[in-house]
Amino acid sequence: MNNYSYPSYRTRNGYLTESTRDKYISSAITKKILPENAHRMAEIISLSASNDEGKPIQFWQLNSVLGKDRVVNIVGDFYTRVFKDEEWFTSVFARVGPVNHHINTQAAMWLDVMGGGPYYHGGDFRLNFHHTHNAIQLMNENGAKRWVKLMVETLDSSQAQMTDDPRVRISLNTFLTHFFGKYAEEFNFAINETFGETNPPLKRKINFMNMTNDAVEALSVEELKEALSSRGIDVSSYSNKLDLVNKALSL
């Protein structure tokens, strides 16, 4: 088992951190990836990653693990690939500025969202302006497909930048998936590609002893079964939710 001691790097909110975190949490609650009280759970809203490898790293906690240099290196690898790509794709970026301009700007945005501090001046307004003006030619299925392809290649070749924590790549995938979902909705294009595995649903620890009867009854069948099973109880003999609730209340 690995022993982590996060935060490895100083964390601070940036211009995008809180707004992006809140939007993601709301979406993740709807998708049942995060519990309904996620906005109030310290381990989720914290800018520091959990040292428990069984708990996912939220993408606004990535700076606490990676720090600035690793993020810049990953982004730098990506834009090196972009500027070596086909003319129809590369030219859109080249019109805005040279490769170092894009590395600095994108890394600033990543670090800002990931809890590295106020790097991306202008926040949401600047980000929206960039995509509706500078990058509008690529805000479509063809542009998205090529962007995802190059980013996946980048991530696959950047494992050395991700430390030995296996949760980092999954968190990066989650970060990118969240923003691409946002852009697909805003610019009305479909996404047929993926970055890879994303953060799984957060499993909350259920302690029946600290819960009211109403709170136990409000649990789903899956939550009841999992909590009872974790206590060594064979749930196969309980045929319905009422039986599960009664067993939980009897403990």
Do the Cβ atoms of 223 and 206 come closer than 8 Å?
yes
As a residue count, the chain comes to 251
Q: What is the mean pLDDT of residues 103-132?
A: 95
Do the Cβ atoms of 181 and 191 come closer than 8 Å?
yes
Closest CA to 25 of 45, 10, 7, 42: 45
Query: From CA 241, how far away is CA 221, in angstroms rounded?
Result: 6
Query: From CA 247, how far away is CA 251, in angstroms rounded?
Result: 7
* Residue ranges of domains in the chain: 1-204, 208-250
Alpha-helix runs per DSSP H in the chain: 17-30, 42-45, 63-82, 87-96, 99-113, 123-129, 141-157, 167-187, 213-217, 221-230, 241-250
Average pLDDT value over all residues in the chain:
93
**Is the predicted pLDDT of residue 203 greater than 80, yes or no?**
no
* Residue pLDDT, tens place only, 135-178: 899 999 999 999 999 999 999 999 999 999 999 999 999 999 99
**Is the predicted pLDDT of residue 227 greater than 90, yes or no?**
no
Do the Cβ atoms of 122 and 15 come closer than 8 Å?
yes
Please provide the CATH number assigned to the domain covering 1-204: 1.10.490.10
Lowest mean pLDDT among 67-76, 84-93, 125-134, 219-228: 219-228
Do the Cβ atoms of 59 and 44 come closer than 8 Å?
no
Q: What is the mean pLDDT of residues 214-231?
A: 86
Closest CA to 156 of 74, 62, 69, 57: 74
115, exposed or middle or buried, with CB in 10 Å at 0-12, 13-18, 19+?
Answer: buried
Q: What is the mean pLDDT of residues 236-246?
A: 90
100, exposed or middle or buried, with CB in 10 Å at 0-12, 13-18, 19+?
Answer: exposed
List of residues 6+ apart from 203 with CB closer than 8 A: 54, 226
